Structure 1
Amino acid sequence: MIKKGRNLYIADTAVIIGDVTLGDNVTIMDSAVIRGDENSIIIGDNSNVQDNATIHVNNTYGVRIGKNVSVGHNAVVHGAVVDDNVIIGMGAIILNNAHIKKGSVVAAGTVVLENFESEENSLITGIPGSVKKIDPKYGEMAYKNSLEYLKLNQQYRSGTFERIKGNGNE
């Protein structure tokens, strides 16, 4: 069962299946896949899932994404917990039972292995991902990024941008 908050923007090509809860002001961009087929997925208020990102679960681990979180283009979050005010960078992969704590940034291309747990306000980089630095500015950066997507959400819902579907002849 899909539970939807208020003021959502869900692109036509996004796929949302199963036990999924979307908070208020959530933005789901083109070709994102959110599959709560074997467990639950919760996405908090003001969060965004960008183009081609995948959020999935398994029988053991669901996904909980906090408020003001950006899941970057082509990122994968699988069976993990992501606290408030976090950026998951483009192409990053977060695996089962990982916990990305409040105010953190996972750098683009990082692979966070199973059972990893960050500290708050961490910069996580590398393969495998590890904490490189701790600084409260990361949480502020993540919050500001979520505000940019909240603005886009409002613009998409109001029709600010022309959208061509299919082959453009429609």
Structure 2
Amino acid sequence: MQFEHLGASPRIHPDAVVAPTAVISGDVTIGAGCHVLHGAVLTAEGGPVVLGAHVIVMENALVRATSANAVRIGDHTLIGTFASIAGATLGDEVFLASGARVFNGARVGRRCEVRINAIVHRQTVLPEGTVVPIGWVAVGDPVQLLSSDQHEQIGAAQPELDFPGYVFGVDRDTPDLMVQLTERYASSLARHAADRRLD
């Protein structure tokens, strides 16, 4: 399914294959030889999504750009099932395994591997060839690779990340943080009410 969103329509190379149950919304460019499988969602929420050549987006993966952070995915990259990319840049020949998450402002270098259920945090930079092990968390620039049982180290890195401020424009110390966050986000998402299906 293809949708016009905020006046922009998807651009899909004639050699690309997009499953009929995939959702492609807004300013999305899909390059030559790409395959977007069933249930995948590629949505440009104010910023563009650009897939290079021969990118594979597996079933039920989510690729979302924001007005603050575009998504750019390099050639010959594979996005696994249930993986999620929000406003990040991935280089050429990256492997993002099933359930992996890459957050806003992150940059994943050429030939990196983000393995099953691993996380690349906001504004983290993975140098070329970095491997994030299964279930581990990558944080910062320079990057720290931490296992999921290193709660204190992960927690120590997170306040500096200021996820609510960076992504939603709400100060972490706001007394009604979730009220402010959800109301702002809902207002932004309401722009989909004017979307137009193209196919």
TM-score of Structure 1 vs Structure 2, range by shorter chain: 0.7 to 0.9
* 1:122 equivalent in structure 2: 130
- 1:82 lines up with 2:90 in the alignment: yes
* 2: CA distance, partners of 1:85 / 1:79: 18
Structure 2: distance between partners of 1:19 and 1:91: 25
The structure showing larger relative contact order (alpha-carbon pairs under 8 Å, at least 6 residues apart) is 1
Deviations 1:19-61 (A, max 9, x none): 0011000100000000013110000100010000000021100
Aligned mates of 1:7, 1:62 — CA distance in 2: 24
SS in 1 for 2:125: coil
1:27 match? 35
Stretches of structure 2 that go unaligned for 5 or more consecutive residues are 1-8, 139-143, 147-199
Letter in 2 for 1:86: V
- Residue 48 (1) aligns with residue 32 (2): no
Give the TM-score of the pair, scaled to structure 2: 0.64
Matches within 5 A, 1:16-165: 16-125=24-133, 126-129=135-138, 130-131=144-145
List structure 1 segments (4+ residues) > 4 angstroms apart after TM superposition.
Answer: none
1:119 shift after superposition: 1.0
Q: How many residues align?
A: 132
* CA distance in 2: counterparts of 1:86 and 1:128, whole angstroms: 17
Return 5+ residue gaps in structure 1 as ranges: 133-170
- Greater helix percent: which structure? 2
Shift of 1:127: 3.8
Determine the C-alpha separation between the residues in 1 that align with 2:14 and 2:56: 14
CA apart distance, 1:131: 4.7
**More strand as a share of residues:** 1
Whichever residue aligns with residue 10 of structure 1, its letter is V
